[in-house]
Amino acid sequence: MLKVDNVSVSIANIKILSNISLNVKKFTSIIGRNGAGKTTLIKSIMKILDIDYGNVEFNKIKISNFNTYAMTSFGIGYMPEDRRLIPNLSVKENILLPIWSKRKKNENNDLESILNFIPEIKSFLYSDAYQLSGGQQKLVALARAMIVGKKLLLLDEPFEGVAPALAERLVELIIGLNKLKLITLITESDETYSKLINADIIKLERGKIVS
Ligand code: ATP
Given ligand 1 and candidates 7, 16, 51, 156, which is best to mutate, with the most ligand atoms within 8 Å of its CB? 16
Whole-angstrom Cα distance, residue 132 to residue 56?
A: 35
| Closest ligand 1 atom to Cα of 41 | 11
Whole-angstrom Cα distance, residue 171 to residue 92?
A: 23
- The alpha carbon torsion through 7, 11, 17, 19 (nearest 10 deg) reads 40
Q: Give tens-digit pLDDT for 48-80.
A: 999 999 999 999 999 999 999 899 999 999 999
Q: Which residues' Cβ are closer than 6 Å to ligand 1?
A: 11-12, 16, 32, 34-40
What is the share, in percent, of the chain residues with pLDDT greater than 70? Answer: 98
> Is residue 105 over pLDDT 80?
no
Q: Which helix (H) or strand (E) holds 29?
A: strand 28-31
Return the exposure string of 146-161: e unless at least 16 CB atoms fall within 10 Å of the residue's CB, then b.
bbbbeebbbbbbbbee
Task: Return the pLDDT at 102.
Answer: 72
List the residue whose alpha carbon is closest to atom 9 of ligand 1: 37
- 3 state DSSP class of 21: strand
Q: Give tens-digit pLDDT for 131-159.
A: 998 889 999 999 999 999 999 999 999 99
Task: Return the pLDDT at 14.
Answer: 94
With vertex at residue 189, the alpha carbon angle to CA 7 and CA 45, rounded to the nearest 5 degrees, is 25
| Mean pLDDT across the chain | 92
Given ligand 1 and candidates 9, 10, 11, which is best to mutate, with the most ligand atoms within 8 Å of its CB? 11
> Is residue 7 over pLDDT 80?
yes
What is the share, in percent, of the chain residues with pLDDT greater than 90? Answer: 78
Q: Give tens-digit pLDDT for 171-198.
A: 999 998 877 888 999 999 999 999 998 8
